[in-house]
């Protein structure tokens, strides 16, 4: 009697595990969650079964967290970051659009990072690559107020995907939706802040022998002499026509970030160092030691879109030991 009932329990337990496995495999709803973040701002959380996760705020379509399967944070966000629109968030992955830095008449880095984006619940073109990952599509269209400062209608779609092995993909498409035949021109960057254990032991690889514009010397053009870039003081350079892959070695952690990109030929490398850090209200005095920005960008040759035309850019971040 006892034996047979425990056997029954075992059987139903097996069924239970079998069905739970089915539910876990086929239910994607638990992998994408929209919730409240800091100051009640909406954020989307993407989770993978192997433990990795991504958080993206609708404010700015701003990725503020990317964690690996061990729960380690891979992006830097300042302990003094302010989550209070229209202040941009210090850290993570701000979007610079339609203007990088002060290369135009708009506020620094444009306005996309200061706007509330929306979630597209009916995303187009869900390919098998995307289907294997967990993703969310975010959309930005100009408001009437935006059109007063930048008189161009556009649709900016960014698909944020957390891949099956924890890679983070940002696939952007920007379309000129002007009806009156006007073209527009923009510059762009994913201003990624990577978390590092000690800036003194960081090497950025893939930019050796390339030309760059030195933002600390009025964008004077120069050529990088070394193979690997090390940072020992304030650093702010736009490397031009860079390869599709750049890597960042964190010697102390024995970890390498791999940046792969398409449609984004330039790469900005930035660290404010000590003196500049002291002038930034939303950045801790010592935090320059624990971050480096390596930004996939289109800066030197601005992108022009005719009405109906679309531009695509893609950034993929991964790590290897």
Ligand X SMILES: *[C@@H]1O[C@H](CO)[C@@H](O)[C@H](O)[C@H]1NC(C)=O
Contact call for residue 314 and ligand X (CB under 6 A): no
Q: Phi then psi for 83, rounded to 5 degrees?
A: -100, 70
Q: How far is the CB of 314 from ligand X (least distance, A)?
A: 10
Catalytic pick from 62, 152, 190, 191?
Answer: 191
Nearby residues of 32 by Cβ (< 8 Å), 6 or more positions away: 44, 45, 46, 47, 134, 135, 136
Please tell me the distance from the alpha carbon of residue 186 to that of residue 61, in angstroms, as a whole number.
18
What mask, x for binding ligand X by CB under 6 A, covers residues 42 to 81? Answer: ----------------------------------------
- Between the CA atoms of 219, 223, 229 and 235, what dihedral angle is there, to the nearest 10 degrees? -20
Contact call for residue 200 and ligand X (CB under 6 A): yes
Residues 161 to 180: which contact ligand X by CB under 6 A?
173
CA 62 to chain centre: 7
Among the residue ranges 4-12, 36-44, 196-204, 223-231, the one whose residues contact ligand X (CB under 6 A)? 196-204
Task: Determine the size of the site formed for ligand X (CB under 6 A).
Answer: 9
Residue whose C-alpha is closest to residue 274's, from 265, 286, 266, 262? 286
Cβ-based nearer residue to ligand X, 33 or 310:
310
Nearby residues of 3 by Cβ (< 8 Å), 6 or more positions away: none
Give the length of the chain. Answer: 321
Contact call for residue 198 and ligand X (CB under 6 A): yes
Cβ-based nearer residue to ligand X, 71 or 124:
124
Report the residue from 157, 237, 255, 314 that binds ligand X according to the rule CB under 6 A.
157
Please tell me the distance from the alpha carbon of residue 16 to that of residue 127, in angstroms, as a whole number.
32
CA 149 to chain centre: 25
Please tell me the distance from the alpha carbon of residue 107 to that of residue 101, in angstroms, as a whole number.
8
* 62 assigned to active site: no
Q: How far is the CB of 127 from ligand X (least distance, A)?
A: 9
Cβ-based nearer residue to ligand X, 227 or 310:
310
Q: How far is the CB of 157 from ligand X (least distance, A)?
A: 5
Contact call for residue 125 and ligand X (CB under 6 A): yes
Q: How far is the CB of 137 from ligand X (least distance, A)?
A: 8
Q: How far is the CB of 69 from ligand X (least distance, A)?
A: 25
Residues 262 to 301: which contact ligand X by CB under 6 A?
289
Reply yes or no: is the peptide bond before residue 98 cis, omega within 30 of 0: yes
Quote the tokens at residue 59.
């404010």
Cβ-based nearer residue to ligand X, 97 or 239:
97
Among the residue ranges 39-47, 176-184, 195-203, 298-306, the one whose residues contact ligand X (CB under 6 A)? 195-203
Across 37-167, the runs of DSSP E, i.e. the strands, are: 42-47, 53-57, 62-67, 95-96, 118-119, 134-140, 154-162
Contact call for residue 181 and ligand X (CB under 6 A): no
Among the residue ranges 179-187, 198-206, 212-220, 238-246, the one whose residues contact ligand X (CB under 6 A)? 198-206
Please list the alpha-helical segments (H only) found in 157-247. Answer: none
Residue whose C-alpha is closest to residue 263's, from 161, 186, 150? 186
Among the residue ranges 71-79, 84-92, 177-185, 193-201, the one whose residues contact ligand X (CB under 6 A)? 193-201
* 155 assigned to active site: no
* Binding region for ligand X (CB under 6 A): 124-125, 157, 173, 198, 200-201, 289, 310
């Amino acid at each position: 009697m006892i034996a047979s009932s425990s056997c029954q329990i075992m059987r139903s337990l097996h069924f239970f595990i079998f069905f739970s496995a089915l539910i876990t495999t086929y239910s994607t709803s638990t992998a994408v969650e929209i919730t409240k973040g800091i100051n009640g701002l909406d954020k989307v959380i993407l989770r993978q079964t192997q433990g990795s996760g991504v958080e993206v705020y609708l404010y700015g379509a701003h990725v503020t967290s990317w964690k690996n399967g061990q729960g380690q944070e891979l992006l830097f966000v300042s302990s003094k970051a302010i989550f209070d629109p229209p202040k941009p968030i210090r850290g993570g992955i701000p979007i610079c659009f339609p203007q990088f830095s002060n290369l135009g008449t708009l506020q620094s880095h444009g306005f996309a990072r200061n706007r509330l984006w929306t979630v597209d619940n009916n995303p187009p073109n869900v390919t098998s690559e995307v289907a294997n990952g967990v993703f969310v599509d975010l959309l930005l269209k100009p408001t009437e107020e935006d059109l007063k400062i930048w008189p161009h209608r556009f649709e900016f779609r960014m698909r944020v995907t957390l891949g099956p092995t924890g890679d983070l993909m940002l696939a952007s498409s920007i379309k000129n939706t002007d009806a009156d035949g006007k073209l527009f021109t923009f510059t762009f960057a994913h201003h990624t802040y990577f978390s590092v254990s000690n800036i003194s032991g960081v090497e950025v690889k893939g930019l050796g022998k390339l030309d760059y514009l030195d933002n600390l010397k009025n964008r004077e053009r120069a050529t990088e002499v070394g193979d690997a870039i090390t940072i020992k003081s304030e650093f702010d350079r736009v490397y031009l026509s860079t390869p599709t892959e750049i890597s960042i070695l964190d010697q102390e952690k024995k970890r390498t970030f791999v940046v792969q990109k398409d449609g984004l030929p330039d790469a900005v490398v930035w660290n404010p160092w000590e003196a500049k850090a002291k002038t930034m209200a939303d950045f801790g005095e010592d935090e320059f030691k624990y971050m480096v920005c390596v930004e996939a960008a289109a800066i030197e040759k601005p992108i022009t879109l005719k009405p109906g035309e679309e531009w695509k850019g893609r950034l993929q971040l991964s790590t290897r030991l």
